[in-house]
């Protein structure tokens, strides 16, 4: 079974630009969550989607948004990039997103903002 | 708000030494508890999880953790570490029924000297 796939793996942007990251969950998984990992703040929850609906949202500004498609694939978008947005963005999927517990993580998309 | 605190940020051990990594969480309701590991250059992987039942849970690669409800703790242990255990370890919690939103601790970097 293929794991969680994230694209692109690496990208460099400049301040003010916007970026879209993609995540393909494990086949059959309907919940997709996004996390930001930085050396200073660690792993922080961004948002979770389940059946194309945002179910949970973390404490990030509105510049961070996401969506989920009918095939459970998800995208997250960051607009008006700031230097502090440089991070590893992780996507995780789970079977039902409820009571099953385990999240399966992708390898992440490393964003550098110059 | 939920929070997770890991006691040690950086641990250095020699091979065959015993390991215990501390984790305390702050949340009054029913929670699920996890330890994830991130080996160098790899994605986050689940080591073990606690949902209910026996508070002593066993995971992969000889790791175990004990849930002590009265202390809000979920410490990770391994009797004898190997060089291949060198990695970053994350304790995490989510609210029962809220799988996609994991709250992570800051992580503990474990370095095992051969």
| pLDDT computed for residue A16 by the predictor | 97
Q: A40-56: buried (b, 16+ CB within 10 Å) or exposed (e) per residue?
A: eebbbbbbbbbeeeebb
Choose the closest CB to B43 out of A97, A102, A106. Answer: A106
Dihedrals phi, psi of B62, to nearest 5 degrees: 80, 5
Q: What number of C-beta contacts closer than 8 Å exist between A and B?
A: 70
What's the rounded Cα separation, in Å, for the pair B45 and B40?
A: 12
Nearest by CB: A101 against B32, B45, B104: B32
Centroid of chain to Cα A71? 16
What are A75-100's pLDDT values in tens digits?
999 999 999 999 999 999 988 645 55
Per-residue model confidence (pLDDT) at position B83: 96
Rounded distance between C-alpha atoms, residue A10 and residue A21, angstroms: 10
Confidence at residue B64, expressed as pLDDT on a 0 to 100 scale? 97
What pLDDT is stored for residue A54 in this prediction? 93
DSSP secondary structure of A35-101:
EEEETTTEEEEEEEEETTEEEEE-S--TTEEEEE-TTS-EEEEE-S--GGG-EEEEEEEESSSSS--
A11 CA: distance to closest CA in chain B (Å)? 17
Q: Which residues pair with B73 in a beta bridge?
A: B24, B68
pLDDT by 10-residue block (mean), chain B, 114 residues: 90 97 89 93 92 92 95 96 97 81 94 95
For the cut 70, the answer to whether the pLDDT of residue A101 exceeds it is no
pLDDT recorded at residue B28: 74
Decide if B43 contacts A105 (C-beta within 8 A).
yes
Q: For A40-76, write each residue's pLDDT tens digit.
A: 899 999 999 999 999 889 999 999 999 999 999 999 9
pLDDT in tens, A11-49: 999 999 999 999 999 998 999 999 999 998 999 999 999
Backbone angles phi, psi at A26, to 5 degrees: -60, 140
User: Are the beta carbons of A105 and B43 separated by less than 8 Å?
Assistant: yes
Average pLDDT value for chain A: 93
State the smallest CA–CA distance between residue A95 and chain B in angstroms.
10
Residue A95: what pLDDT?
82
């Amino acid at each position: 079974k293929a794991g969680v796939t994230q694209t692109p793996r690496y990208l460099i942007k400049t301040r003010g630009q916007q970026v879209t990251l993609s995540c393909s969950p494990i086949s059959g998984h309907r919940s997709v969550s996004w996390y930001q990992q930085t050396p200073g703040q660690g792993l922080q929850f961004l948002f979770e989607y389940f059946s194309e609906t945002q179910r949970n949202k973390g404490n990030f500004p509105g510049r961070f948004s996401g969506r989920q498609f009918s095939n459970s694939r998800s995208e997250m978008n960051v607009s008006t990039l700031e230097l502090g947005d440089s991070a590893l963005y992780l996507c995780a999927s789970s079977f039902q997103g409820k009571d099953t517990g385990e999240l399966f993580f992708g390898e992440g998309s490393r964003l550098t903002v110059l | 708000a939920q929070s997770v605190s890991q006691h040690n940020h950086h641990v250095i051990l020699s091979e065959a030494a015993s390991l215990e990594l501390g984790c305390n969480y702050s949340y009054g309701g029913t929670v699920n508890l996890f330890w994830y590991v991130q080996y160098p250059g790899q994605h986050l992987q689940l080591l073990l999880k606690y949902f209910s039942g026996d508070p002593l849970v066993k995971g992969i690669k000889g790791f175990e953790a004990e849930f002590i409800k009265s202390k809000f703790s979920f410490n990770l242990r391994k009797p004898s570490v190997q060089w291949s255990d060198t990695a970053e370890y994350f304790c995490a919690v989510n609210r029962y029924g809220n799988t996609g939103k994991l709250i992570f601790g800051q992580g503990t970097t474990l370095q095992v000297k051969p």
